[in-house]
Structure 1
Amino acid sequence: MFSQTTYSGSSLDQYTMLGKQLDALLEGESNLVANLSNASALLNQFLERINWVGFYLMEDGELVLGPFQGLPACVRIQVGKGVCGTAVAEKKTMLIEDVHAFPGHIACDAASQSEIVIPLIKDGSVIGVLDIDSPELSRFTKEDQEGLELFTKVLMNHL
């Protein structure tokens, strides 16, 4: 249904198309797990050179593993710890070129070299994060950040 050949044009054009596909895919569905599962599957299909994509959700003051695509992952992450916990504490996207240079990085998969984490904010509160890892250094660009922030805005309309 969603082949890589579907996407053409600039990076922003491709992310815009991805957002439209996400919107259509989630239309009429309100189940959180179903929507996050399809969102992570869509990203896994769209993004090249990644080894993990998924969500962590806030529960009792910490991040808990949610729907994802990739190898088994850390189940719980404290706010302020690692890249994901820092994204929650600072309420901002973390684009990390080299995870091994990030103080307190939590290595769920030793193959991961770079990471991007986008907080999911609803009514001023972080309800979770989108976390994407790559086995390549400096895999994610500012264009990826902008596109993925657009993707999460579309997603938040369905959560």
Structure 2
Amino acid sequence: MTRAQYILLAAGGSAGLMLAALAFQHLGGMAPCKLCIWQRYPHVIAILLGLLALRFRQQILVVLGATAAASTGAIGVYHAGVEQGWWQGPTTCSSGPITGLSADDLLNQIMAAPLVRCDDIPWELFGVSMAGWNAIVSFGLMALWLMALRRA
């Protein structure tokens, strides 16, 4: 395959993941949590970098595309770990032990909490959550970016 084909596959993969996430959100009614949103930013950046890399043929754009794919993959691993309870997620979107709070403080915390929690798994396939699939596919996309780098 050519360098351009690898870039198209990598950027197209990010576009496909973004379309799937938006379909789950808007057609499936699954509102994204904070970590879900964080995983989307690098995909958008990877799409833009793919378009720029095809136009300007600069190696740094391909390196940045691989970095964007690795970034969303790493956030996906972190999010999947939060979902599995391996580590705690951001306090603004995860549940945790409730200690040392008065009833009023607890009520205020509940009322200020976001509606979508990062430690819930709203969808999974073969025992892997959406965040886990994002990580797996994103690291595959990173490999495509690196293959494009080798073809330069």
TM over 0.5: no
| Greater gyration radius | 2
What TM-score do the two structures reach when normalised by structure 1?
0.31
